[in-house]
Amino acid sequence: MDRDRRVIDSGVEVRPVYRAEDLGSFDPAVSLGEPGEYPYTRGVQPTMYRGRLWTMRQYAGFGTAEATNERFRFLLDAGQTGLSCAFDLPTQMGLDGDHPRAEGEVGKVGVAISSIEDMRLLLRDLPLDEVTTSMTINATAATLLLLYQLVADERGVAGASLRGTVQNDILKEYVARGTYIYPPRPSMRLVVDTFAYCAREMPKWNTISISGYHIREAGSTAVQEVAFTLANAVAYVEAALAAGLALDDFAPRLSFFFNAHNNLFEEVAKFRAARRLWASIMAERFGARDPKSMMLRFHTQTGGSTLTAQQPENNTVRVTVQALAAALGGTQSLHTNGFDEALGLPTERAAKLALRTQQILALESGIADTVDPLAGSYFVESLTNDIEARAREYVAAIDDMGGSVAAIEAHYLQDEIEAAAYAFARSVERGDTAVVGVNRFAESTAAPADVFPVDESQQHSQVDRVRAFKASRDLSAVSHALADLATAARGSTNLLYPMKVALAQRATLGEVADVLREEFGVYRAG
């Protein structure tokens, strides 16, 4: 590799010096606009963090509902301003904790939720009428959302006042992550039914968080992260319109979820380019009228795949740089990873330090004093233009294939990500891409690190609770409600209404998923 050349993740060659002529026909009035105005390059709010800081939403979830509730309250006491919940693999895959396939996975990478009883314990003593809650769940998103609403109903908190986000982004599961259950097309029906349900019943709830995060974690470039995320978003909009929903009724509640990696300026430019590209897609392609339909509002998480098990304290610096990029790029909420997450779930010490990192950036660095502080930089504006142009090319290619669903079925997105991941891995192996502590400044001995303990007894207690819950129900009422859900699945009824009835009758998450498996089938990757 020519050491004088600097080519960043997006494929853009970085010049030694940037000047006004590098921006070509760039017109600030057209390409930037004002903060809070189309095309939203400079942010979705006129005052951004001068008016309100981003939401500090630390991700948590492990073991039983009680254990995760304890971590939630620890983080709220430490100054966190929003909840973010991780669910274990059985919950993500529509399996109750007592299912044979769940053995060994219950509560390991997130909290185990099988029933309304679990959700009650998860949310115990949390102010649902005050806090916003994000749930990272996809194939079973509708079920978890309804369990959340049912518990709020019991507490007298109306659905109309609940605020939060459900990820509900099934397309990226086929592309990058793998926690899908049903084939793409019936899965899209569940997504759209959730849009329609929330428009009527939970109007302040963000009905989807269209995720580039997992696409980037799978090895994509920054450009692919933007392009594939927005192409998936186009597919959701088209599916909702085909189902008869009015664009400006559901589009304002669409939200996005992006990654933040180590190249500070590339990441800032990526966020700005994504906002501008989405605004133009919604205005020019779909004819959105409501300004909120054109706003790309997004949550950011620092890059899990950038963390190293070697010299894990170095991750604190990586997370700081990534969080700075997210804030300079105008994120609406942020999760900062714990420095020990390459080794296991974050310990309380690491989780608190990650939160303190956000608080120091927000309150001590000065980055919240002005809106879009890097605007007008020849380098940043040039990068923003380049990333947007390259992302547009990808979106056009996916359109030519018939859209994201067809491109996923053809394995196009997956192949592009795999090629990018391989190229990056080879670059690290050759030493062209530096990773401090791994291929630069490595050490032969490692200092001992505290690792989050996995409590096997929590898994056993969850299995026992699920079995006791099932034994205590009116099975006739449960069976009748599940039969009504099956009938709805065979027709065109919004599935969330019969699903809510079944869950209120104490059907479990796994039982609801089993009904839909029977009606929709199970997707097997080709």
pLDDT band at 68 (very low <50, low <70, confident <90, very high): very high
Contacts of 477 (CB under 8 A, 6+ apart): 505, 506
Where in the chain are the domains?
20-430
Contact (CB, 8 A) for 121 and 112: no
Return the pLDDT at 29.
77
Mean of pLDDT values over 41-59: 95
Spell 73-98 as b/e; 16+ CB within 10 A means b. eebbeeebbbbbbbbbbbbbbbbbbb
- Mean pLDDT calculated for residue range 338-351: 92
Residue with tokens 């080519």: 7
Mean pLDDT in residue range 206-232: 97
- Degrees (nearest 5) of the Cα angle 260, 266, 271? 60
Burial of 232 (0-12, 13-18, 19+ CB in 10 A): buried
Query: Which residue in 218, 211, 205, 102 sits closest to 159, CA to CA?
Result: 205
Tokens 């790309």, residue?
Answer: 296
Residue 518: C-alpha distances to residues 50, 316, 433, 503, 514 (Å): 52, 46, 48, 18, 6
pLDDT at 421: 97
Whole-angstrom Cα distance, residue 327 to residue 361?
Answer: 9
Of 187 and 4, the one with more pLDDT: 187
Give the C-alpha separation, 507 to 297, whole Å.
Answer: 35
Cβ atoms of residues 9 and 221 within 8 Å: yes
How much is the average pLDDT of 186-214? 96
Write down the pLDDT at residue 25.
Answer: 80
- pLDDT tens across 472-525, in order? 999 999 999 999 999 999 999 999 999 999 999 999 999 999 999 999 999 988
Q: Are 302 and 247 in contact (CB under 8 A)?
A: no
**What average pLDDT does the segment 409-433 reach?**
96
Contact 175, 408 (CB under 8 A): yes
Q: Distance between CA atoms of 45 and 295, rounded to whole angstroms?
A: 9
In this model, does residue 344 exceed pLDDT 60? yes
pLDDT over 90, % of the chain: 88
Give the pLDDT score at 525. 81
Alpha carbon distances (Å) from 78 to 82, 85, 287: 12, 17, 44
| Average model confidence (pLDDT) across the chain | 95
Is the per-residue pLDDT at 1 higher than 80?
no
Q: Assess contact for 409 and 240: CB atoms under 8 A.
A: no
CA 316/CA 307 separation, integer angstroms: 9
Buried b (16+ CB within 10 A) or exposed e, 372-404: bbbbeebbbbbbbbbbbebbbebbeebeebebb
396 — pLDDT class (breaks 50, 70, 90): very high
Range 94-99 average pLDDT: 97
CB 337 within 8 A of CB 354: yes
Residues 6+ apart with CB under 8 A from 476: none
> For residue 31, what are the contacts with CB-CB under 8 A and spacing of at least 6?
39, 41, 276, 381, 385
Phi, psi of 452 (to 5 degrees): -60, 125
Residues ≥6 apart with Cβ < 8 Å to 172: 138, 210, 211, 212, 214, 215, 228, 229, 232
Cβ-proximal residues to 135 (8 Å cutoff; 6+ apart), any chain: 84, 85, 87, 141, 144, 145, 148, 164, 165, 166, 167
Instruction: Return the closest-CA partner of residue 398 out of 406, 390, 387, 388.
Output: 406
Q: Considering the entire predicted model, what is its pTM?
A: 0.93
Class of domain 20-430: alpha beta
pLDDT at 254 over 70: yes
Place of tokens 């192409």: 231
Considering only the C-alpha atoms of the chain, give the largest distance between any 2 of them, rounded to a whole number of Å. Answer: 74
Residues 6+ apart with CB under 8 A from 448: none
pLDDT, position 257: 97
